[in-house]
Amino acid sequence: MKLYGLPGACSLVDHIALQWVGKPFEYVAVGRDALKQAPFLAVSPMGAVPAIDDAGFTLTQNCAILEYLAEKNPEAKLLGGESLKARSEARRWLAFCNSDIHKTYSMIFGAARLVSEAAGQSELSKNASQRVREMYAIVDKHLAGRDWLSEGRSVADAYLYVTLRWANAKKIDISDMPNLQAHYNRMSADASVQAALAAEGLK
């Protein structure tokens, strides 16, 4: 299997998931300037990571890839356990990270693409950062008294962790959310997470 990713981007979630699976795969780092070039567009028509190539089967869109990895490798329990409740809970938080938290970050990272004036860009980024904090507060409350978003560790935890790395990069203060901080530290100490970070040249 081949995973196409941009170091530190949401494709890091899939990289962590593949490390958890523990089977051989190839990580292909795609430079930002190469995302919209013909060779990569042949793999991912939207010019976005992640994308996978599994023996000629190509797949894009993060949630689809993570579901594919989970179904192909049930022994890895990438959806938090074997019960319907555990898998549904993991899918709930996976959707929340992908459709709500990540979507809001796009207004922080891409403010210049959405608003032409500098003052408007600053306001958009500020408001989006506050909205991210509000969503993190929901997650922090859910994590009270538990280690993971579902019954066990899941790809939703990996997605949350990657967004928390973005929070650190954008200086979004979550110091008043101890359960999130504990989750971040727990994930950071995971050997597979460390392996994915090292492979992408991250700390």
Summarize pLDDT for 89-135 with one digit per residue, the tens: 999 999 999 999 999 999 998 777 777 788 788 899 999 999 999 99
Query: Quick one: 63 and 124 in the same domain?
Result: no
Query: Quick one: 21 and 67 in the same domain?
Result: yes
Whole-number Å distance between alpha carbons of 137 and 141:
6
Confidence (pTM): 0.95
Query: Quick one: 88 and 61 in the same domain?
Result: no
Query: Quick one: 127 and 69 in the same domain?
Result: no
Residues 6+ apart with CB under 8 A from 118: none
Confidence of residue 194 (pLDDT cuts 50, 70, 90): very high
Q: Dihedral angle at the C-alpha atoms of 26, 31, 33, 39, nearest 10 degrees? A: -10
Query: Quick one: 64 and 132 in the same domain?
Result: no
Q: Specify the pLDDT at position 120.
A: 83
At position 99, the amino acid (one-letter code) is: S
**pLDDT surpasses 90 at 191:** yes
Summarize pLDDT for 22-41 with one digit per residue, the tens: 999 999 999 999 999 999 99
Strand ranges inside the chain, DSSP E: 2-5, 26-29, 51-54, 57-60
Query: Quick one: 159 and 66 in the same domain?
Result: no
CATH code of 14's domain: 3.40.30.10
Strand order through the sheet with 26-29: 26-29, 2-5, 51-54, 57-60
Query: Quick one: 30 and 94 in the same domain?
Result: no
- Element holding 50 (H helix, E strand): none
- Could you tell me which residues are beta bridge partners of residue 57? 54
Question: Domain tally for the chain?
Answer: 2
- Could you tell me which residues are beta bridge partners of residue 154? 79
Query: Quick one: 35 and 98 in the same domain?
Result: no
Query: Quick one: 99 and 55 in the same domain?
Result: no
Q: Which domain holds residue 168?
A: 84-190
Summarize pLDDT for 39-57 with one digit per residue, the tens: 999 999 999 999 999 999 9
Q: Specify the pLDDT at position 65.
A: 98
Greatest Cα pair distance, the chain, in angstroms, is 51
The terminus-to-terminus CA distance of the chain in angstroms comes to 25
Mean pLDDT of the chain: 96
